[in-house]
Structure 1
Amino acid sequence: MNNYQWVILQTMAFIDNLKQLFGLGTYPADAQPPAPVTNVPAPNPSGMPTTPRQREQLYRFMVEKLAAYSNEKDGLPTGLKLWVRCADTAEEDRMSVALYATQPGHFQDELSRHLADQYIKLAPNWTFSWQFVRDELPANCTYQKGNLGLEVIRPSTSKPLQIRIRTLTGQTTQTIYVLDPAQQTEFRIGRGRTVETASGRVRTNDIAFFDSGEPGFDATRGEPNQSVSRQHATIRYDAEARRYRLMADAGGLPANGNKTKILRADDTVERADLPGVGYTLSPGDQIELGGEAKLLLEAI
């Protein structure tokens, strides 16, 4: 055999080995093909996304719920506690992996970067912890979504958040009202300064639209504010969340012929037409009463 024939044989042998390596060739009679893979993970019966999707879900949930704190300077949250409802131990194990349970502080560090990207600030040296539950998420969760709950821990000495209300349409006893939760936490809106309710009690409207027979009403500025009910709505301060919420009173509900809306700063509209429900207010929002009167919320 000459050198040329030897090279040809060696090349053919090398090609055969490559075919067998990638499953393209035939196996010798005395060889066995590799056993099929049997350790494929079983489907996740809980429906909870697996890591790293599970971890990203946690980041999105907390960043979304903490967006309200992006413009705050005082009384920043001093801690966060994540609550997770898990169906079984296996689910808790998967969530522990998503939370870097074996690397203390790592999840909090990554969460800090996500918050910083959205200009969300927390107090220096803020704390983070989590806890699993099997039944219901605790009532003290500041925010909830699906199986996740977030408790926002705030300093007990947080300064109440003041806000300014400016009348845009309609005649009110003042052009500007300053809401100060240090003085009171509920601010009633309606037509007339004082109103006798169905129970016989007297209601005082803090943001009062003039009635036609009241001193101060100026007929040259338009018709009486008949679109505003005498018991139209209430603005309530939520000290825990440091937020204001609007609640439609009996006279401000569609059932009584009136409507209450929130015209958001982003041009969306939210109807405040469910009794007992508090609708969150933010600076830049406008409150529309009866389709005509409008109040503007301004930051101080």
Structure 2
Amino acid sequence: MTTTTERPSAAPAPVPGNIGIGQTVHDSLVIAKRNLLRMMRIPEVVIFGLIQPVMFVVLFSYVFGGSINIPGAGLDASAYREFLMGGIFAQTVTFAVAGPSIGIAEDMSKGIVDRFRSLPIARGAVLTGRTFADLVQTALILLVLAVVAFLVGWRIHEGPLKALAAFGVLLLLGYAFTWIGALIGQSVRTPEAAGSAGLIWLFPLTFISVAFVPSENMPGWLQPVAEYNPFSAVVMAVRDLFGNLPQGYQPPDAWPLQHPVLASVIYSVLIIVVFRTLAVRKYKSNAG
């Protein structure tokens, strides 16, 4: 009589849809580590990311300083430098959109994203890990930029806690924009197209705002556009928290500029919710 011994079946491989929150966080951090190591091996990416904001600080400070009228300060060059820095900081973090848009497009063109899809990891972890890595890079760029700004005369006047809150608002905006980049990177065919699509719309967004000139100096029809621009709310919040608004300056009556910190958080959270949902949905549909 032959006895048949049944071998225990192997545990099924986890399916991305069945992965819990803890595993999702772990997968996201692993992907983030992979992207950070990649950035460290290509330091010129970070270096070139620093050149543009540093050039903006120097050029705007010494070329336009003393030429632009600031309500409450007139043509004072030193007041303009402090007024300017909120806009430069905010513009710098919005350019974080380029990192994930180009990086994801490049990974897709090389088939790396397809390999990730074949692994039993959370679907959103690939994108979340990429955005975490870009957030770290943005924080590093902000640190270096703050040092350069200090050298040209920028100062913090409201103490360390409010300064930390200002940097927190900036990083929240930067993280929100990385999700826009994650969606763009999946929607184009080449890294070159991702670079153009990720940056071309940022120039009107940042310049039609209160970043570089007060909205009062703009044509009347353009003022509401600048004042309700989410970017303007962040710029005004940062100036307020750093204490860089000229004494006697009265912000426009638009609600986002009257309550800039709250408006900044609301805008950034909405961008994260909307574009993370769209980016993860796009990732899943591409996998199908």
Q: Quick check: which one's strand share is greater?
A: 1
Q: Which structure has the larger Rg over C-alpha atoms?
A: 1
Higher relative contact order (CA 8 A, sep 6+): 2
Q: Quick check: which one's helix share is greater?
A: 2
Q: TM-score, normalised by structure 2?
A: 0.22
Q: TM-score, normalised by structure 1?
A: 0.22
